[in-house]
Amino acid sequence: MKKTVVISAAAITLSAVSIPLLQSTKVAAMAQTQQVILPAYKYPEQQNNSNDQYWKAVSDKAKPEAGQSTPMAIMNVNSGPGEKVDPNYTKQLAQNEQDGIKNLGYVRTGYMTKPMDQCKQEVEKWVQLYGDKVRGIMLDEITHDTPQQKQYLKEIYQYIKSQHPNFLVIANPGRHIPDDIAGYSDIFITAEMTADKYLAADYPPATSKFETDEANVKRNYHIVYNAKTSDYEKITKVSKERNAGYVFITNDEFPDPFNALPGDYNRMVDLANNGANKKQASEPKPVAPEKKPAEDKTPAAEPAPVKKDTEQKDQSTPSSTPTEEPKPAKQDSLADTGINSFLIAGGVVVLLGLGTGLIIFNKKRIAHKK
């Protein structure tokens, strides 16, 4: 029984360990497949039925796969939503939705110097002008060097979530972040720089738990500009190693690297997705929903040891029989030996007793004759 219990405990332990190992593998697989978030600062020239090659290329790539490889676009009318509805943007936002691309409205914070009320008003302006075609907000020019700046980010993030719970929020510090602000945005742009700096040997590695934890792969977004098209593959590989689940690479240059599509745009998107087809590209979903099946599997792992226990018991029964049979045999032989010894000893005692009795009897007999 003890042997069976030990095996059962080991089986349960192995089953419990196997679940987190599978989760870890799945997260690593997510890190291998990225998606592109498009900073789309290009005006949609549809008013005069002009052939806008930028948006045509975006649509041609996204539509067949329902936006799986390019799930989001950051829309920027005029460093924000603008003052009135622009019909061309209305049409383009609707087209993006049809192609499976979610529209995020651009809001500039002025490195946390813009009055908070003005930031909140711009968030609401996006909703007022373009309604449900806006699915989130990108907060630009974020910095986090002082407690006041961190509080600013916390306040605007919590405001957006309280007013629009389903909005996705991207914050753009463009550099590594500390762990104490990790809860103040859904996605962080933790790198925005030239390709030379991004690939430099002295690129500072991330040290925060947020950026190095594989569970946060879909919360890290890297933007690299001034890149050679021949370096796209290298940059993509490095960004995956740096735990970026979202990426955008362009050969366009500063100061306005987001008003034109990257050269070889389709290849850039395919590299991020590893040339994945629609199903493969859709696998890297947010981590949270995937934890539930893992938790549900934990109790399900318990029957496995039970089966193993049964098997072990079935196997141990015949294997233990030969080892148990000799034991009674040995015990029987020892018992027989003990009984025989007892009988011999008893016989000796009886003989000694008889001998002693005869000696006493003879002595008395001799004495009587005298």
Are 199 and 56 within one domain?
yes
pLDDT in tens, 212-242: 999 999 999 999 999 999 999 999 999 999 9
Instruction: State which amino acid sits at residue 310.
Output: T
pLDDT in tens, 311-358: 333 333 333 333 333 333 333 433 344 444 444 445 544 455 555 554
Q: Is the pLDDT of residue 206 over 90?
A: yes
Q: How far apart are CA 73 and CA 102, in angstroms?
A: 6
Domain harbouring 71, CATH code: 3.20.20.80
User: Which residue carries 């306040």 as its tokens?
Assistant: 155
Tokens of 319: 């294997």
CA nearest 304: which of 1, 4, 16? 16
- Between 331 and 142, the more confident residue is 142
Q: How far apart are CA 55 and CA 361, in angstroms?
A: 136
pLDDT in tens, 44-53: 987 554 678 9
Are 362 and 256 within one domain?
no
- Among 283, 312, 329, where does a domain finish? 283
Q: Is the pLDDT of residue 22 over 70?
A: no
Overall average pLDDT of the 55-79 stretch: 95
Is position 3 within any domain? no
Are 361 and 268 within one domain?
no
Q: How far apart are CA 299 and CA 42, in angstroms?
A: 52
Residues 6+ apart with CB under 8 A from 242: 191, 206, 211, 220, 222
- Phi-psi region for residue 284, left (φ > 0), alpha (ψ -120 to 50) or beta? beta
Number of domains in the chain: 2
pTM confidence score = 0.68
Rg (CA), the chain: 40
Domain that holds residue 55: 34-283
Determine contact, residues 246/236, Cβ cutoff 8 Å: no
Q: How far apart are CA 266 and CA 269, in angstroms?
A: 5
pLDDT in tens, 84-101: 999 999 999 999 999 999
Is position 7 within any domain? no
Are 257 and 367 within one domain?
no
Is position 269 within any domain? yes
Least confident of 168-182, 294-308, 335-349: 294-308
- In terms of Cβ atoms closer than 10 Å to its own Cβ (0-12, 13-18, 19+), residue 111 is middle
Is position 10 within any domain? no
Q: How far apart are CA 6 and CA 122, in angstroms?
A: 64
At 161, the pLDDT band (50, 70, 90 cuts) reads very high
Share the mean pLDDT of the chain.
76
The most confident of the ranges 32-46, 134-148, 270-284 is 134-148
Q: How far apart are CA 211 and CA 266, in angstroms?
A: 28
Are 351 and 209 within one domain?
no
Least confident of 42-46, 116-120, 166-170: 42-46
Q: What is the predicted pLDDT for the residue at 126?
A: 98
Query: 255: cis peptide before it, omega within 30°?
Result: yes
Q: How far apart are CA 246 and CA 172, in angstroms?
A: 13
User: Which residue carries 């045509």 as its tokens?
Assistant: 56
Are 194 and 47 within one domain?
yes
Is position 313 within any domain? no
Are 370 and 221 within one domain?
no
Are 276 and 367 within one domain?
no
Tokens of 220: 């890290």
Q: How far apart are CA 103 and CA 116, in angstroms?
A: 23
Is position 6 within any domain? no
Are 208 and 276 within one domain?
yes
- Among 260, 283, 306, where does a domain finish? 283
Instruction: State which amino acid sits at residue 157.
Output: Y
- Between 195 and 350, the more confident residue is 195
Are 267 and 133 within one domain?
yes
Tokens of 366: 């001799």
Are 134 and 275 within one domain?
yes
Overall average pLDDT of the 16-34 stretch: 42
Q: Is the pLDDT of residue 281 over 60?
A: no
Q: Is the pLDDT of residue 264 over 70?
A: yes
Give the DSSP H/E element, type plus range, for residue 108.
strand 102-108
Overall average pLDDT of the 44-71 stretch: 86
Least confident of 33-37, 106-110, 324-328, 339-343: 324-328
Are 116 and 253 within one domain?
yes
- Among 221, 256, 283, where does a domain finish? 283
Is position 304 within any domain? no
Q: What is the predicted pLDDT for the residue at 45?
A: 87
Angstrom CA distances, 50 to 45, 46, 73, 127, stand at 6, 6, 21, 28
Is position 167 within any domain? yes
Q: What is the predicted pLDDT for the residue at 304?
A: 39
